Structure 1
């Protein structure tokens, strides 16, 4: 869909999407919020944070994160210096966006812990402590921890909720994950419409996007009175955004936000594209009987493994691996920065 001339019969496409869905910013770049806001939530992950903290203009944040990590490391006996420094930088970057949004900052837990419930719980609690230390007056109800949608991760969400810490289930590709996320009390889930790999490998094409999962999960939550919201992510074109207009929330990358903001189209034409129109919902809907996995690990694992011949499991593993790579790169940056500052006497 190309941009057309603005006239009385057309609407701004970004404003149209905002009228149908909550629009969140998928960037830690302050300029994006100023340029294309207002947004509700600001979401981030290890890839976003590593890319942003590597920018020269973020050197002050990087150096302060390293210095604070050295200062308070003894208070956190179960974490390495480099991990703590990266966590401080992630929270610092998110807090810098917080005054420019209406809702929550979303910080992702360490993906290397995705198969350890105790470590994820500890990590979530530590991120909340860091947030309070950096900004004592910040309302911690505006902090949401993103957790990988493994069995262990979603059980950690259950425990974090008991501690009063909000969670979002990320790296989510199947209804089994969506069902369990609602059962454990996640405030949101983020179905990845496309495999995460498409954002890291320009030669890779995902031939099996999962638009229907966004519709099915949202209908399931409504039907069974869950408060969990669907926050769609990993869309790669304006047409895909418009197909999902009507989802509870979106995280949209900056390049697509700019395209939406500079495009105008007939409101009826835009409405006709949405999968959330009643006829499309009826066509896309699968069996929506109430399910439960929360106390049955074996049942969850086999259902998750068998869904779509294992495609969802494969996509989840792939996404976790990519985020793990970014975590490792970021921790290396923290070590190198600490060594550089030590050599320079800073």
Structure 2
């Protein structure tokens, strides 16, 4: 058994890619996309015709609608290859506008439904700002399931649990990046690996809190830098993993050091934890107190917004 197969015994494996031709070899349950991954895909010769065809078909529509149709087209292709769900992201430039996020999410779902896809197979990805979490609360009440992304802090996770969102994506690698950069020459890679990795410990804390208080929101670790981070979170509800790391895991033998789950509901239940509750003011204060989360959330929104604009430019050139 390889490590990917071993991991699948404890955790639902999700492919983090817009390159759907890679999916079959890893047989993930679900798949996630984002503007950066779609931008990367449409610049490959095998995907450019898909974008051009969609732009040509809907060239008289507004740019934002054509964008959504491209995202849904990719989503439908992905869903034809996996048994589970696909995550499709709302325009990151709407991250601070609750109503606009709700409206855009509802349009994405309508486009999926028009393509014959059941709502249960789609997760709408939204940045975990206060406004984004509020949009997710409204969408969940309307039967549209959400995946709250760009999640770096415990307060974001708690607020998402309060909003009863379907799933959260805490970013392991980007947390790790921040602490490593801050430490500079003092960073000890070996000492900060495994359970001591700041990104890994962040997800572990969230997982334990959710399981302890029976919060139904699924935890999906995301943004990994190496297979060690992935394996340290065996037992997490889901892990979304880039194809490069999936390939490494499938090439590594599990027999010499068999994988055991490090996240276990019974362990979480046994902990002595305090239940937290956030309103808008206390959430903003808690997020502001976390320099890493504040910086990485802002940086992530900027990066996704920039890639969305690049994608729009490619669409205009294809028209």
TM-score by length of 1: 0.82
Of 147, 161, 181, which aligns to 1:168?
147
Contact preservation (8 Å) 1:147, 1:170: yes
**SS in structure 2 opposite 1:270?**
coil
Offset from partner CA, 1:60-97 (integer Å, 9 cap, x none): 311222134335x3xxxxxxx22222211111011101
Of 256, 259, 262, which aligns to 1:270?
259
**CA displacement at 1:319 relative to structure 2:** 1.1
Structure 1 CA distance for aligned equivalents of residues 276 and 265 of structure 2? 24
**SS in structure 2 opposite 1:266?**
coil
**Which residue does 2:14 correspond to in 1?**
24
Equivalent residues in 2 for 1:152-301, closer than 5 Å: 152-195=131-174, 209-266=198-255, 268-271=257-260, 275-276=262-263, 288-293=273-278, 296-301=279-284
Aligned Cα root-mean-square deviation (Å): 2.3
**Which residue does 2:190 correspond to in 1?**
none
**CA displacement at 1:253 relative to structure 2:** 0.5
Offset from partner CA, 1:215-274 (integer Å, 9 cap, x none): 111111111111101100111111111111111101010011111111103365533xx6
Contact preservation (8 Å) 1:195, 1:209: no
Q: Which runs of 5+ in 1 are unaligned?
A: 1-10, 74-80, 199-204, 339-346
Q: Which runs of 5+ in 2 are unaligned?
A: 178-183, 188-196
Contact preservation (8 Å) 2:90, 2:105: yes
Q: How many residues align?
A: 302
1:104 aligns with 2:85: yes
**SS in structure 2 opposite 1:106?**
strand
Contact preservation (8 Å) 2:96, 2:131: yes
Over 4 Å off, 4+ runs: 277-283
**Which residue does 2:44 correspond to in 1?**
55
Contact preservation (8 Å) 1:105, 1:142: yes
